[in-house]
Amino acid sequence: MTAKTKKDAPQEPFERSLEKLEGIVRDLESGEKGLEESLGLFEDGISLAKGLTARLEEAKHRVEVLTKDGGKFKAVSLEEVDGSDNG
């Protein structure tokens, strides 16, 4: 039996993770938390920020780009474009 990874677990919506990160930032900026609690919040915030960044990068690669082909526009996946890297 294999151990489940974080990727196997269902992810909460991107917007919810972002709200959590914004809440952490507000808590840290308030200056009302003690050192230990602030460090814990900071660690949680860094983890959330890394996860959100990874999800944005994944979304970026899933987005279709418009390219001109014979006077017409057609949708091309980024995977197709990455191989030619003309930019």
pTM of the model: 0.63
pLDDT greater than 90 at residue 82: no
How confident is the model at residue 60, as a pLDDT? 77
Strand partners, 77: 64
pLDDT digits (tens, 9 = 90+) for 24-39: 999 999 999 999 999 9
Q: Is 77 helix (H, G, I), strand (E, B) or coil?
A: strand
How confident is the model at residue 70, as a pLDDT? 56
CA 85/CA 66 separation, integer angstroms: 14
How confident is the model at residue 10, as a pLDDT? 79
Q: How many residues does the chain have?
A: 87
